[in-house]
Chains A and B, each alone.
Chain A
């Protein structure tokens, strides 16, 4: 039970706003010490796992391309493009991205998306641009729209990918049940991910509709009157 001590350290550290790298390192060290590891073993365990998980950092390879395109006006171009579409609102832009992200993930195409590749250079500027037609955005509104753009990317992929039979989580379930003497086909599992996928779209789609209403209220006009 003593090893659980690392968890309150994490919670408290995050809540009081310490640097997360520091919080994680302290929580890991405390957990290791309580489990009877000596400091050098803890240092080695961190080093080994950090190096083994380098594949997570591969996504940063996109920053030179995205940075260059931003310097050349990619975000402004995305805003110009969306400003031409009169029916576009922030909520509708994000709803279309939610559909694309969920459907492509359900077909196993999870690499069509991502915060660095899609959200920062394209989706967030379009979502902001749709609202900027009604005037300059306050800092709070801009932050809210950007946070929603990131959330759509996550929700789309989480509740789309399990419909695909060869995704990691389905294979993990199949392997785990197999170890416990229950043989299942990936397709049988994937089918039962569909109800939640549909509900996720309904719930989050509704919230995007409400986001449009909230933005309209914030600028003092009713939704239909602004076009």
Chain B
């Protein structure tokens, strides 16, 4: 059965190859810092399941210190010359799109059809992980197609992959570190403490104020935690169910559906949702780390207002 472990090994080998390239590249800036950073990340993929938690923690600490000292990234960032790329665009034509489209196509087909595939009576792919395994398969298929259509040097994908990951730099591991922070917050009871603060000063008698406290609270909590999924149980247990549903007889289904979407408005506006907001800024090489957030804030605020009004109109229909 192909599960996540196989995909982790693939990712570990790839990051290991990036680290090795840094080690072998005497001309690259901050050679050993980059080698150590990507080597440590590769180790978490290859050996993470077997390592003691404290050792994994040391690997994370090493990455944090190297990034904190500003030692990560900054290798040569250009993919050939503009003339070379334009020549390639003319020579290969629309064939260039094929490998790029193979990734989502295989990921999609895999998610839809491989879930129930069996080999010798056992499931071929761990059904719970089919989306991520399909993404891995999509990448392998796309590489095969790219080799066949474009005939690059054998090592070209790793050279170019390293160039791209160097552009992203430390931002590549930020989402995982934030997930770890969320786990620590959970242990420390931060969610409960925030809920106490938010629910403390709510007047009980005004429907609109209650609804606004719930939707804005969802968005604010999400801005702090970076994740609407963390905000939903806390806010719904704190304000939603006791006040909007039990006291004001609002509809819990409408409230929950629109409440979650109010949280998503918060996701648009926070650096804590790093994989949606900070990673693309790095990936697109924006000069401003918060460039994506700044573009999203107007839509986030307008939709939060819309959600508040929608909930106010819809949640008390039967009450």
A residues sitting closer than 8 Å to B (CB atoms) are: 1, 3-4, 6-7, 10, 14, 18-22, 24-25, 27-28, 31-32, 34-35, 37, 40, 42-78, 80-81, 109, 111-113, 115-122, 124, 139, 143-144, 146-151, 153-155, 158-159, 162, 168-169, 172-173, 176-177, 180, 182, 184, 188-193, 195-196, 199-200, 203-204, 207
Q: Are A6 and B185 neighbours in the complex by a CB distance under 8 Å?
A: yes
Residues in B with CB closer than 8 Å to A48 are 53, 56-57, 183
Q: Are B67 and A43 neighbours in the complex by a CB distance under 8 Å?
A: no
Task: Output the residue of B82, B90, B190, B277 with the most chain A CB within 10 A.
Answer: B190
B residues sitting closer than 8 Å to A (CB atoms) are: 4, 7-8, 10-11, 14-15, 41, 44-45, 48-49, 51-61, 63-64, 67-68, 70, 79-80, 82, 84-94, 96-97, 99-100, 103-104, 107-108, 111, 129, 131-132, 134-136, 139, 142-143, 146, 150, 152, 156-165, 168, 170-185, 187-190, 193-194, 196-197, 224, 228-229, 232-233, 236-237, 241, 252-254, 256-258, 260-261, 264, 267-268, 271-272, 274-281, 283-288, 291-292, 294-296, 298-299, 302-303, 306-307, 310, 314
Chain A residue at smallest Cβ distance from B65: A22
- A50-B56, A50-B176, A72-B152 are known contacts. Are A4 and B261 too (CB-CB below 8 A)? no
Residues in B with CB closer than 8 Å to A144 are 291, 295
Residues in B with CB closer than 8 Å to A81 are 94
Chain A residue at smallest Cβ distance from B110: A111
* Cα distance, A6 to B185, chains bound together (Å): 9
Known: A146-B286, A147-B281, A162-B264. 8 other contacts (CB 8 A): A1-B197, A21-B67, A31-B185, A47-B56, A64-B157, A70-B160, A143-B286, A189-B256
Q: Are A72 and B96 neighbours in the complex by a CB distance under 8 Å?
A: yes
Report A108 CB to chain B, min CB distance, Å.
9
Q: Are A72 and B150 neighbours in the complex by a CB distance under 8 Å?
A: yes
Q: Are B286 and A196 neighbours in the complex by a CB distance under 8 Å?
A: no
- A45-B183, A49-B183 are known contacts. Are A65 and B103 too (CB-CB below 8 A)? yes
Would you mind naming 25 contact pairs between A and B with Cβ atoms under 8 Å apart?
A1-B196, A4-B193, A14-B271, A20-B278, A25-B61, A31-B190, A44-B57, A45-B183, A46-B60, A46-B177, A50-B180, A51-B53, A54-B48, A55-B132, A65-B99, A70-B85, A71-B88, A73-B91, A113-B104, A143-B288, A154-B267, A169-B232, A176-B232, A177-B252, A195-B310
Q: Is the interface of B mostly helix, strand, loop or mixed?
A: helix
Task: Output the residue of B45, B87, B182, B257 with the most chain A CB within 10 A.
Answer: B257
- A60-B11, A77-B97, A162-B261 are known contacts. Are A71 and B79 too (CB-CB below 8 A)? yes
Q: Is the interface of A mostly helix, strand, loop or mixed?
A: helix
Residues in A with CB closer than 8 Å to B4 are 54-55
Report B87 CB to chain A, min CB distance, Å.
7
Report A9 CB to chain B, min CB distance, Å.
11
- A47-B55, A66-B164, A151-B295 are known contacts. Are A58 and B256 too (CB-CB below 8 A)? no
Residues in A with CB closer than 8 Å to B252 are 177, 182, 184
Chain B residue at smallest Cβ distance from A58: B132
Give 7 closest A-B pairs by Cβ, nearest first. Answer: A67-B160, A47-B57, A47-B56, A73-B88, A73-B89, A64-B161, A35-B188
Interchain CB contact (< 8 A) of B54 among A40, A78, A112? A40
Report A85 CB to chain B, min CB distance, Å.
14
Q: Are A173 and B177 neighbours in the complex by a CB distance under 8 Å?
A: no
Chain B residue at smallest Cβ distance from A71: B79
Q: Are A112 and B108 neighbours in the complex by a CB distance under 8 Å?
A: yes
* Cα distance, A31 to B194, chains bound together (Å): 13
Interchain CB contact (< 8 A) of B184 among A42, A71, A112? A42
